[in-house]
Amino acid sequence: MDKLRICGNGPLNGEIRVSGAKNAALPILCTSLLTADTMRFTNVPMLRDISTTQKLLQGMGVRVMTDNVHEMEITADHLDSLVAPYDLVKTMRASILVLGPTLARFGEATVSLPGGCAIGSRPVDQHIKGLVAMGAEVVIEHGYVKAKAARLRGAHIVMDVVTVGGTENLLMAAALADGTTILENAAREPEVTDLANCLVAMGARISGIGTNRLVVEGVDKLHGCEYAIMPDRIEAGTFLVAAAITQGHLILRNAAPRSMESVLDKLVEAGAIVEAGDDWISLDMKRRPKAINFRTLPYPAFPTDMQAQLMTLNCVAEGTGVVTETIFENRFMHVPELNRMGARIEVEGNTAVVHGVDKLSGATVMATDLRASASLVLAGLVAQGETIVDRIYHLDRGYEYIEKKLGAVGAQIERIS
């Protein structure tokens, strides 16, 4: 099993190209199930989760061609299977996103329940509630969601909680439903907007894009298109924290600054000089970071996927920062590992109090989930001595060639077996 070896090597300086957004690519690849035409996707990140999605679609009979760089062509003119099996779904919860489009186009779908998740509970009840409101017959048997509907019909759906996956599943299903579907309390994340824009490019009729009220007028048929995945705001934020924590200077290309304003604001609050254009971000940090307080909330507030990275910045900042996690109940699993490196973090319930220290020390640490692993890499960049980050298969789910990208701007980092 691969690990990362990191030695603190001073400030990071240079340019990094941001990859396509994993959290946008996963649902957008599933839109291929809504049409018999070929879909061509560009700016696709080559990640473990993308590979899992490819295997899932191919297992259903979909033809997938890729250059294994940044492009994919997907054709679902017919399916051999309408089942998403447990063996694949258990490795990636986003597999549930084949439920809505498969049901809408083929009249039935069987998808394994995703089960538990290391960072906390992620129920799919809102997905099921919405599909039932649209006329589907849904039963749960032997760990599988089994749904049928001759044709889904439009409905007025008010989601009990803001759910990104639920919004995406219902948005895709509604695109081929008979009549108008209104999704209230919809997620507003940029990745949901990217999905909606892709559906519009396929011929869907959607209004309210970017708001919490989406109105979808169902159409009889969608067509293929070419679509570029948006840049990954979480990868971009992680690299900006790397520059801030090492007191360096980075320029990010192929970035989407308007999708991550809450993160940029916090980095400025920490003392960074941040400039941005339409597709680039520059960060210059000339001093030790100042501790910051933040609370995770649905977009446009501060994203839970950046919580662990900003907490690491607080670990070596001047002062004390308070971090409140409101999205997932078990997303502080990186705290014991950071404390092993000399951090001073106290956790009570969903709040972590981080007392900044002058230095961290290298250690062997274990990644417990995707963003936790990123926080440990960041800690290794400023730790004295050698840091070994174990279980980096988590990291490969969401960061494309992270050791190469960081190494190109001055980090002393390598992958070892």
- φ, ψ (nearest 5 deg) of residue 412: -95, 95
Cβ neighbours for 379, distance < 8 A, ≥ 6 positions apart: 312, 315, 338, 341, 343, 360, 365, 387
Q: How far is CA 162 from CA 6, 122, 294, in A?
A: 38, 12, 20
Structure tokens at 41: 């996707």
- Whether 117 sits among the annotated catalytic residues: the reply is yes
* DSSP-derived secondary structure letter, 96: G
Catalytic residue, chosen from 7, 117, 198, 315, is 117
Cα separation, 204 vs 197, in Å, equals 9
**Sole residue written with tokens 């003392």:** 271
Cα distance between residue 35 and residue 24, in whole Å: 19
User: And the tokens for 176?
Assistant: 């081929």
**Whole-number Å distance between alpha carbons of 214 and 181:** 8
Of 236, 244, 280, the C-alpha closest to 12 is 244
Residue where the block lists tokens 């054709």: 75
Of the candidates 63, 71, 75, 65, the one whose C-alpha atom is nearest the C-alpha of residue 35 is: 75
Measured at the alpha carbon of residue 116, what is the angle toward residues 112 and 119, in degrees to the nearest 5? 135
Strands in 38-42's sheet, in edge-to-edge order, are 63-66, 72-75, 38-42, 226-228
Task: List active site positions.
Answer: 117
